[in-house]
A and B are shown apart, each in its own frame.
Chain A
Amino acid sequence: MGMIVLGLRNLLRNKVRLVLVAILIGVPFFLLLAMNAIGDAVQRQTAVLAENVNTVLQLRARGSMGHVNMVGQDRILPQDVPEKVRGIEHVERVEPYLLAMAPITPPNFVMHVGLAPTAVKRLESHGEAGNPRIIAGRDLTPEDAGQDVAIIGQGYAQWAGIKPEDMGTATLTVDPTRTHPVIFAMKRPTRELRIVGMYASGYVFGDLQLFMPIETFRSIYGTDQGTSWLFVKVDSVENVPLVAQRVRETVGYVADILVPESAAVFTATTSRTVKQLSGAGGLLAIALMVIVVFFVLLMTVRERAREIGTLKAIGASDGGVTVQFLTEAVALSLLGGALGLLLFQAVGAMVTGRLFALSIGPFLPSHYKPLFESLAVSNQVSASVLLLVLVVAVVAAVVGSAYGVWQAVRLSPLEAMKHE
Chain B
Amino acid sequence: MNRATPLIELRSVSKSYRKGGETIDAIADIDLELPEKGMVAIVGPSGSGKSTLLHLIGAMDRPTRGEVVVAGRVVNGLSQGELTRFRRRTVGFVFQTFNLIPNLSALENVALPMEFNGAAKSERTKRAKALLERFQLGHRLKHRANELSGGEMQRVAIARAIANEPRLVLADEPTGNLDSKTGALIYELLKEISRERTVLVVTHAEPLAAMADRVLHLQDGRIGA
Interface residues, chain A, with chain B CB atoms under 8 Å away: 1-2, 6, 9-10, 12-13, 306-307, 310-318, 320, 412-414, 416-417, 419-420
Contacts and interface: CB of A to CB of B under 8 A. Distances in A.
Given A417-B60, A419-B97, A317 B84 contact: yes
Contacts of B101: 6, 307, 310-311
Interface in B83-133: 84-85, 87-89, 92-93, 95-97, 99, 101-104, 108, 111-113, 115-117
Contacts of A13: 102-103
Interface residues on B, range: 20 to 34
Interface pairs A-B: 3 shortest CB-CB: A315-B88, A315-B116, A310-B99
A12 B103 contact: yes
Contact of A318 (B51, B84, B115, B116): B84
B95 A316 contact: no
B196 interface: no
Contacts, number: 75
A317 B118 CA distance: 12
Interface of B: 51, 55, 58, 60-61, 80-81, 84-85, 87-89, 92-93, 95-97, 99, 101-104, 108, 111-113, 115-117, 160-161, 164, 172
Nearest to A12: B103
A13 B81 CA distance: 30
A320 B84 CA distance: 11
Contacts of A416: 93, 95, 99
B167 to A, nearest CB: 14
Nearest to A417: B172
B95 A310 contact: yes
B117 A315 contact: yes
Contacts of B115: 1-2
9 contacts: A1-B112, A310-B93, A311-B101, A313-B58, A314-B88, A314-B160, A315-B164, A417-B60, A419-B96
A6 B51 CA distance: 30
A315 B99 contact: no
Contacts of A413: 60, 87
A256 to B, nearest CB: 78
Contacts of A6: 101, 104
A316 to B, nearest CB: 6
A62 to B, nearest CB: 83
B113 to A, nearest CB: 5
A315 B81 contact: no
A317 B81 contact: yes
- Of the listed residues B85, B88, B92, B99, the one surrounded by the most CB atoms of chain A closer than 10 A to its CB is B99
Contact of A9 (B58, B93, B103): B103
Given A416-B95, A417-B172, A315 B102 contact: no
A420 B177 CA distance: 11
Contacts of B60: 313, 412-414, 417
A349 B80 CA distance: 54
B147 to A, nearest CB: 15
A310 B160 CA distance: 11
A369 to B, nearest CB: 54
Contacts of B104: 1, 6, 9
Nearest to A10: B103
B108 A1 contact: yes
A314 B51 CA distance: 17
B127 to A, nearest CB: 15
A307 B84 contact: no
A296 B111 CA distance: 29
A12 B61 CA distance: 34
B112 A417 contact: no
Contact of B112 (A314, A414, A419): A314
Given A315-B87, A315-B88, A315-B164, A417 B117 contact: no
Nearest to B88: A315
A312 B80 CA distance: 11
Nearest to A316: B116
B116 A420 contact: no
Contact of B113 (A306, A315, A318): A315
A315 B95 contact: no
Contacts of A318: 80, 84
Contacts of A317: 81, 84, 116
Given A310-B93, A314-B113, 20 more contacts: A2-B115, A6-B101, A6-B104, A306-B97, A307-B99, A307-B101, A310-B101, A311-B112, A313-B60, A315-B85, A315-B88, A318-B80, A320-B116, A413-B60, A414-B55, A416-B93, A416-B95, A417-B60, A417-B95, A419-B97
A168 B58 CA distance: 90
